Amino acid sequence: MPCSGAWSAGCHLSFMRIVVTANNLTGEYFSVPSINAPASAQAKRVDSFSLDLRQHRVTSSLVSASASVHGTRQRMENRS
């Protein structure tokens, strides 16, 4: 089911956080709770990767559903 709006039913929102330092580039992919979820629901990190810029090595991992970013949903709701 395609999304017709920012918080449509059946729409799974997500975002990726990228951090770059002199030695590493890391990315974390998060799933965001739907608008129908309780206000206490948190974004959950579902995947991540790290690129060692000096050794040219990539590591990647799927993360358990229990990892989360505190306050993400509240920050997103405050934007609208």
- State the residue for tokens 């050794």: 55
Report residue 54 as tokens: 């000096």
* Predicted confidence (pLDDT) per residue in 38-63, tens digit: 888 888 999 999 999 999 999 987 66
Whats the size of the chain, residue-wise?
80
Could you tell me the sign of the dihedral formed by the alpha carbons of 18, 49, 12, 44, in that order?
Answer: negative
CA triple 44-20-12, angle to 5 deg: 25
Q: What is the pLDDT of residue 28?
A: 94
Indicate whether this model's pTM tops 0.75: no
Q: Is the pLDDT confidence value at 79 over 60?
A: no
CA distance 59 to 51: 7
* Predicted confidence (pLDDT) per residue in 13-46, tens digit: 899 999 999 999 999 999 988 888 888 888 899 9
